[in-house]
Amino acid sequence: MAALERRYPPAWAEEWDRVGLVLGEPAAEVRRVACVVDVVPETVAEALAAGADMIVAHHPLLLRGVSSVAPTTYKGRIVHQLIKADVALYVAHTNADVADPGVSDALAARFGLTGLRPLRAPAPGSPAAGAGRGIGRIGELPRPMTLAELTRHAAAVLPATAWGVRAAGDPGRMVRTLAVSGGSGDAFLGAASAAGVDAYLTADLRHHPAGEHLAAGGPALLDAAHWATERPWLDDLAAALRAELGVETTVSDLDTDPWTLHAPAATAPVTAPAADPDPAPAADDKEPRREG
């Protein structure tokens, strides 16, 4: 816990967040740590089968108040399973998001981004304030690519999910500077626009915020599966625990995204960008912006 709290101080978490030790005896010996994004029956079963003594998770199991952890409830069952098996549960969530290196550094590394800087720095004077820290990362791609190419590339470099990657914006738009933010990134659309990046990759984007962002001339958007944007961090977490403590680690590759199926439309959709009859953009028209 002390090693985790040096790397991801709990004070760096958002006020609404719930991080740190969820259950487990602080004095118990830990030899093997299971790293997971979500604490669900499937990842718990995996951790127990692997003989883990501790689970370190990204998402809080108990974010909101509960009045019971009875084993007849979904989460209570997990609490009972872990306590009976003497397996501790520890959460590093928004405190791991803002850390440097943090969750979005691992995501940025999948794209080979260089010259990394935070997408949204912590407020000056807040506990997390400090050079390099903040939510999301902005960096340069190793080579410019069109939005269409980047979308296929993202699907190839991110962990596989049924959701895959969908994108919004002109498919021919050239992308050099990319912002990435692991998890739900709606709230940072304005920060991505203000930063002047060519594209922003995150998860859980919605119809109205995404549409209005594009209509206002904002960066192209890539919407990946929530789990796929945070899974890369587990490798960093596990490597840090091994290096600092010499513990054994396992990393869960179980896709815990709720979406299990995806079917492309049977016929090509009628969309504004596809209506362009000339697929070859003029040299001075590399970054078309759709106004209003």
User: Interface with Zn ion by CB under 5 A: which residues?
Assistant: 183
- Closest approach of Cβ 91 to Zn ion, in Å? 11
- Closest approach of Cβ 246 to Zn ion, in Å? 29
Peptide bond into 279 cis (omega under 30): no
Q: Please say which residue, 209 or 273, places its beta carbon nearer to Zn ion.
A: 209
Structure tokens at 39: 């604490």
Residue nearest to Zn ion (CB): 183
- Closest approach of Cβ 106 to Zn ion, in Å? 13
Structure tokens at 104: 């979005």
- Closest approach of Cβ 279 to Zn ion, in Å? 37
Q: Please say which residue, 185 or 219, places its beta carbon nearer to Zn ion.
A: 185
- Closest approach of Cβ 149 to Zn ion, in Å? 27
Cα distance between the two ends of the chain:
51
Q: Please say which residue, 164 or 183, places its beta carbon nearer to Zn ion.
A: 183
Query: What is the spatial distance between Cα 292 and Cα 214, in angstroms, rounded to a whole number?
Result: 9
Collapsed DSSP state (helix, strand, coil) of residue 245: helix
CB 99 within 8 Å of CB 134: no
- Closest approach of Cβ 38 to Zn ion, in Å? 8
CB 216 within 8 Å of CB 192: no
Collapsed DSSP state (helix, strand, coil) of residue 66: coil
- Closest approach of Cβ 112 to Zn ion, in Å? 23
Q: Please say which residue, 36 or 79, places its beta carbon nearer to Zn ion.
A: 36
CB 179 within 8 Å of CB 136: yes
Q: Please say which residue, 106 or 141, places its beta carbon nearer to Zn ion.
A: 106
DSSP 55: E
CB 227 within 8 Å of CB 206: no
Q: Please say which residue, 183 or 219, places its beta carbon nearer to Zn ion.
A: 183
* Burial of residue 149 (number of CB atoms within 10 Å: 0-12, 13-18, 19+): middle
- Closest approach of Cβ 204 to Zn ion, in Å? 9
Q: Please say which residue, 38 or 46, places its beta carbon nearer to Zn ion.
A: 38
The interaxial angle of helices 41-49 and 74-84, nearest 10 deg, is 10
* CA neighbours closer than 13 Å in the CB half-sphere of residue 58: 29
Give the amino acid at 219: P
* Burial of residue 77 (number of CB atoms within 10 Å: 0-12, 13-18, 19+): middle
Q: Please say which residue, 10 or 183, places its beta carbon nearer to Zn ion.
A: 183
